[in-house]
A and B are shown apart, each in its own frame.
Chain A
């Protein structure tokens, strides 16, 4: 009750500042973020798989290494809990020197190599992690001593550091807390990051307080309230009224245009771009005929789609791998927009009067408007795209059963070409198999290159293999990449993030020890 009262007072105080009733108040120290989901999901970093959960957990946890705040590319990997690291010549043995003097939240003691080893084992286990697959190549993890961690791999892994970075399975948990709480770890996640878990109110918010012992220095902000506000319009209004300092935007251009006009507001379309692509099942009729697939590729006007989606928040796709990833072929031979050529190809394939193809599609608004635009474009080439709309979870279930000959998928992955190529184009990932992930195409034309690149230690050779793989996939029209959707966020301009924001791997801007209000 007392706690509620204090909370009530704090909220009332926040409200008063928000409404500008108390201009004499000292510098603001509480950050309120509005996220677009109805409630918290899994707050265990090794189980969290949604953008809202990942964004929040990023404030609580560190990795062995991290991508520099504000960046979304592995080029910016820098030390985090590990001060330094070395690897052997073929990349199968990694030794990390763990930073000393790092404290786990809520008095769970110092963070050591022991904790790091435990954490990686936890992330590798199917029973405790959604990301066990990422660690399939891990053979042995051991704490050589309190500050030395050694990881032995069965085979070299492209971009291995990405898996021990501060995202997904790379988030480092504190052993004592995780063992003590077991399955309940997600109810009070304990990490080493700048902010620590304080309170959860169902369907309302999670509150974090500053970790004064944070190894990079005590945060300037005192607390973060991470509010769950599923309605886009309500989030916008609460932002406008001053109740929220930072919001997850509605992912479309009209939102950008409208929000940019508000006074004292910064709007950012940040990396990574989620690639929207059509995946064609090459074993289904009539898509088994490459000329039909080529016709579809020729009939899609990427430029027009970007105009439709908004140039400020989207851009044309460059390859079957999103742009900017390590190994993306930024000039892959995509099919040019040419309706006549499309019609000619269809006629050649024996469909002079056009052809009908089907897709099962989600009702998520952003994705739906895209597929409707594509449908209109295809019609000009006499390709009739039948769209069967289903709700999102049904969509995910049905496309994995192979019921949709054309699958529209929109995704960002860890920015190394291998991840995208493996998940979407390696035949080992074919849906319906025991190792299935998201290969809806049943293509295997690039298996050799994808697999060879995965274990190639020579960076130049690896890039060349990835390039060939992408060329083959584009030429065979396994997938048709169309456009990339950037991540839209807005915040008050009196909030200084403490770094320059270009992007963020977990799709939410980091809040660091340096983040502060300037007035």
Chain B
């Protein structure tokens, strides 16, 4: 297990480095000049050149790269070109908002998705199954910003239950008020995804010999389904949850925007629009780290769900 972890972490470092280099080059290939964005459209060429010099953008690319990697290794990810605040501080400011939204919606997704998927598989081709399948298809096809607006129209404007600006903190009730709609919005989409995966994994497992054997020796049906079958169907579900967690963090941007919540997604879109090179580089490190860590956690979860999995 320890050797496995070390090896995986080693890979993680290589991945991180590759991503960093790629991002460094990519953001600079895209047309657009941060100095121009910062100074605005009335700035003279001279002023823009002066700023480029201050930002170090006139240095040769390899020089900029060395400066960046050297800083990153020493834990200095630079300051945002737009706001002048340290990248790490900008990220940490909004990271908690993104994490709470992501994990809560994942929780909603699992709590709804797994039982629904199991129910659909068990009642295959009956009403429950059709309802779950159509419901999950709808959930997957619905753009998150449309569902977000519908939720706001119904619960904030219509019923006045929740605020439109879902970014309050300071007390538990304020927090619940702000997180509920965004978490439901993302959670339902996640649930749709998990429902479908659970259903198909369960269908496969339910046809296995040991399920028939368990039934034949008189194990109650619910125990067969929940203990024997589901346990074995969990591996693909965990994989999907792991993959989806990475996607969720990225996908939350539309939800963040419509519900006016701070978050990483908004930060990265802003940095991209403004060609904030340092910010983008820092953000990419975080994203890569998150994806790598989630994958690692997924691997470990395999072992917990299925003792047959050996870490080699």
Contacts and interface: CB of A to CB of B under 8 A. Distances in A.
Interface of A: 4-9, 11-12, 15, 19, 38-42, 47, 49-50, 126-127, 130-133, 183-184, 186-187, 201-204, 227-231, 233-234, 237-238, 240-241, 243-244, 390-394, 396-398, 400, 411, 413, 423, 433-438
Interface in B36-65: 36-47, 50-51, 54
Residue from A5, A42, A50, A203 with most neighbouring chain B CB atoms (10 Å): A203
Interface string B100-119: 00000000000000000000
A203 B262 CA distance: 5
Residue from A4, A19, A38, A133 with most neighbouring chain B CB atoms (10 Å): A38
**What 5 pairs between A and B have smallest CB-CB spacing?**
A8-B170, A49-B40, A393-B32, A203-B262, A238-B164
Contacts of A49: 38-43
A393 B167 contact: no
Nearest to A132: B47
B228 interface: no
Given A8-B169, A42-B83, A234-B257, A203 B266 contact: yes
A184 B84 contact: yes
Contacts of A391: 32, 273
16 contacts: A8-B168, A11-B174, A19-B160, A39-B270, A47-B38, A49-B42, A126-B46, A130-B39, A203-B262, A204-B167, A229-B165, A234-B258, A240-B157, A394-B32, A396-B32, A436-B45
B32 A133 contact: no
Interface in B242-264: 257-263
Contacts of B260: 204, 227-229, 231, 234, 238
Given A38-B269, A39-B266, A241-B160, A11 B170 contact: yes
A88 B242 CA distance: 74
Contacts of B36: 393, 396-397, 400
Given A11-B168, A234-B260, A397-B31, A42 B93 contact: no
A393 B274 contact: yes
Contacts of B164: 234, 237-238, 240-241, 243
Contacts of B263: 203
Interface string B158-175: 001001110111110110
B94 interface: yes
A435 B45 contact: yes
Given A394-B30, A396-B32, A233 B83 contact: no
Nearest to A39: B270
Nearest to A203: B262
A142 to B, nearest CB: 24
A397 B33 contact: yes
B143 to A, nearest CB: 13
B31 A8 contact: no
Given A38-B269, A396-B36, 13 more contacts: A38-B266, A41-B82, A49-B38, A126-B51, A133-B42, A133-B47, A186-B84, A203-B266, A241-B156, A241-B160, A393-B37, A397-B31, A397-B36
Contact of A187 (B44, B54, B85): B85
Contacts of A202: 90, 93-94, 262
Interface residues of B, number: 57
A38 B37 contact: no
B257 A237 contact: no
Given A184-B84, A434-B46, A204 B262 contact: yes
A7 B170 contact: yes
Contacts of A8: 168-171, 174
A4 B169 CA distance: 7
A340 B42 CA distance: 38
B196 interface: no
B149 interface: yes
Contacts of A411: 41
B41 A438 contact: yes
B42 A413 contact: yes
A393 B273 contact: yes
B275 interface: yes
B170 A4 contact: yes
A133 B84 contact: no
Nearest to A236: B164
Contact of B40 (A11, A127, A130, A392): A130
Nearest to B261: A203
A40 B274 CA distance: 13
A40 B33 CA distance: 19
Residue from A15, A132, A234, A436 with most neighbouring chain B CB atoms (10 Å): A234
Nearest to B37: A393
Contacts of A11: 168, 170, 174
B45 A434 contact: yes
Nearest to A9: B170
A156 B185 CA distance: 61
Contacts of B40: 49-50, 130
B173 to A, nearest CB: 8
A401 B103 CA distance: 46
B152 A237 contact: yes
B286 interface: no
A38 B269 CA distance: 9
Nearest to B33: A397
B88 interface: no
B153 interface: yes
Given A41-B83, A237-B152, A243-B165, A5 B46 contact: no
Contacts of B258: 231, 233-234
A5 to B, nearest CB: 5
B267 interface: yes
A42 B90 contact: no
